Amino acid sequence: MATVAPGQIWREETTGTHYLVVRVYSELFDNYAVLRQTEGEATRRVKLAKNPVQPLPGFVQESGAFHAPGTETK
Residue 45 lies in a domain: yes
pLDDT-derived band at 22 (thresholds 50, 70, 90) equals very high
Q: How far is the C-alpha of 47 from the C-alpha of 36, rounded, in Å?
A: 14
Which residue range(s) make up the domain with 30?
9-61
Q: How far is the C-alpha of 60 from the C-alpha of 49, rounded, in Å?
A: 13
The total number of structural domains in the chain stands at: 1
Integer-rounded Cα radius of gyration of the chain: 13
**pLDDT reading at 70 higher than 80:** no
What does pTM read for this prediction?
0.77
Residue 4 lies in a domain: no
Contact (CB, 8 A) for 1 and 7: no
Four-CA torsion 18, 21, 27, 29, nearest 10 degrees: 70
Residue 46 lies in a domain: yes
Residue 55 lies in a domain: yes
**pLDDT reading at 1 higher than 90:** no
Q: How far is the C-alpha of 13 from the C-alpha of 11, rounded, in Å?
A: 6
